[in-house]
Amino acid sequence: MNISLMIYLLSVLDIIICVEVAFSVLLGVFIIISSLTYVLTIDDNYIEKATENFKKLFMEYKNRLIIVFAILLLFGIFTPNSKTISAMYLLPKIIANKDVQEIPSKAVKVLNSKLNEWIEDYTETKKP
């Protein structure tokens, strides 16, 4: 896969996740408001036919809305973002690279030589 296409798809994935999270939050707020409205209008005899239609619609779509909300919530939680996917794709390649594996030993050699050099400089300055 072309690297620029992969970067584009990863950025689109982040946008899709943001839209999904916003939609699920709005859907959750709608479910809460609808539930409260339904509970508050259960025993009112003076509310007209519009309330009865709302009650019928709410009872008809309540379970569907809750299922959609749960699916969207799970999708938002378990969908990896672009950073996670990049790490899953790139880290094994970086770790398997021979040049990268040689870096710690080279760094230790450089550090030891530099420390020895500093110790020699320090001991020479302290000698009377």
Does 92 map to a domain?
no
**Rounded Cα gap, residues 62 and 36, in angstroms:** 12
Do residues 53 and 111 both lie within one domain?
no
Q: Domain range for residue 35? A: 3-85
Residue pair 55/43 in contact by the 8 Å Cβ criterion? no
Which residue blocks in 41-81 are alpha helix, DSSP H? 49-78
Q: How far apart are CA 6 and CA 2, in angstroms?
A: 6
CA distance 62 to 75: 20
Pull the structure tokens for residue 37.
């409205």
Whether residues 11 and 57 fall in one domain? yes
Render each residue's pLDDT in the chain as its tens digit; 128 residues. 666 677 677 777 777 888 888 888 888 888 888 777 776 666 555 555 656 666 777 777 778 878 888 887 787 777 777 777 777 777 788 878 888 788 888 888 999 999 999 988 888 887 66
Q: Are residues 18 and 72 in the same domain?
A: yes
Q: Do 121 and 71 share a structural domain?
A: no
State the Cα–Cα distance between residues 104 and 110, nearest whole angstrom. 10
Is residue 24 included in any domain, yes or no? yes
Same domain, 101 and 81: no
Same structural domain, 113 and 69? no
Q: How far apart are CA 37 and CA 44, in angstroms?
A: 12
Q: Is residue 90 part of a domain?
A: no
If asked whether residues 72 and 101 sit together in one domain, one would say no
Q: Are 6 and 85 in contact (CB under 8 A)?
A: no
- Model pTM? 0.45
